[in-house]
Each structure stands twice: as C-alpha cells, then as structure tokens.
Homo-oligomer: A and B are copies of this chain.
C-alpha cells in the first residue's frame, strides 16, 4: 500500500475523513484507485424520500469518474436536473482475524468510500463511450468482437456517472494484534486468509464450431485472484491508469 506522497490525493472533509482508527485511512488517488479497480461490484447508496437504499451493482472507473448502470437507482434521477448525493463503496475481505479476546477479533480488508453527485448520462457521445467501457474495461477489446448494440438496447439502458469529489480508503492488513499482556495467555489465535478466485472458465454449450476463447481473456484463468485479473484488464484498456 503506497503512502501517497507521489500521487495526487482526494480532498479531506468531514464526510470522508476516517475518524475511527485513523491510521488506517488513505486519500491518495493511487491507493483509492487500486482498491476500486480490483472490483467489478460496488454498493451504491442513495436516498429516496428519506429512505436510504444500498444497491449492489457493477461499476467502472474512468480517471476520477465512476460509472454504473441505472436500473433502480435511476428512479432517483428520473426527474432530477441537479445531481443527487451518492456514496459508492467497494470492500475487499482479505482475512478473518481470531484474537485472544473478543474485541480484538477483526479482519484484514481494503475498502473505499467515494462521495459525489450522481447524474444520468444523457450526452450521446458519453453514453456511447459507456456502452463500450462497460464491457471493455473488464474484457479488453471485446466489444469489437460482439454483435453490435442496437438503438433499442442503448435507449433502454441508463448509465449513472459521478465525479469523485471526496474519497477515502481504509486498509487493515496486520493479522492478529492483541493487547500486549494477552500474548502471555494460553489462548489460540490465528489469521485465516480469504481469497476471491476465478474457477475454470465454462464455455457456452452453444458455441458454433471453430469458435475458441480469444487470447484477450488469458488474464481470466483458473485459480487467479479476481482482483488481479480485473486490475490487469483495467491497465490493458486504460494504460494511463
């Protein structure tokens, strides 16, 4: 995990400042973006009539902007011209931590909370770019090999975008950390690593004869960490980071 001295950082505010265990907080683009880019799924929070919703959805990053599908979230934007406040969160669980007392039980994790104002993507050029990126950000150059999206499909889909105004990363990666005197106790403690990995790809049973897996998918191989595959795909599509 970088300390962020060499990269730009997101500004601090009362919203994104990590208050509890602040030594776990990072605000630099590098740390924030690496955590985001290792995930395909995020959770987006928004408010409708005072009720908060937390919707899991697929998303991707383009610079300091985040994009996701509209679906139910688009309810909140349908009649909006101004942006609605949103919080988009990504969390990776890296281990379970079993300590010598209850309150030191914990987990290693990497998480990002990103804040901003969401808007419906209505600009035709931006929407067309999103139609491509929603596939190619995960599977580089794949769109060019697909049956092209038709007008009806594009019309039926809404994309939401958000410029990241503030963001914070929170990272714990120290395994067991007990109170000094508790190490003298005859109690078992351990760290159990947790990994999200890819299984063996399952080709569609209805492939036409002679259709084989393109080399662009080589990064998605059995046993690989999903986060590594997604990060490599990101850089293949956006070499500038």
Contacts and interface: CB of A to CB of B under 8 A. Distances in A.
Interface of A: 15, 19-20, 40-41, 43-47, 50-56, 58, 71-72, 85-89, 91, 93, 95-96, 98-103, 105, 107, 109, 111, 113, 115, 131-132, 134-135, 138-139, 142-143, 145-149, 153, 157, 175-176, 178, 182-204, 206-208, 210-214, 217, 220, 226
A204 B192 contact: no
Task: Kindly list the 10 A-B residue pairs having the minimum CB-CB distance in the complex, ordered from nearest.
Answer: A193-B199, A56-B91, A45-B54, A45-B45, A45-B52, A189-B204, A43-B43, A54-B89, A101-B147, A176-B204
Contacts of A44: 54
A175 B187 contact: no
30 contacts: A20-B71, A41-B107, A44-B54, A45-B45, A45-B52, A50-B85, A53-B113, A54-B54, A96-B220, A98-B142, A100-B147, A101-B147, A101-B149, A101-B153, A145-B187, A147-B187, A183-B206, A184-B208, A190-B201, A190-B203, A190-B213, A191-B202, A192-B199, A192-B201, A193-B202, A194-B196, A194-B197, A194-B199, A195-B196, A195-B197
Contact of A109 (B55, B56, B195): B56
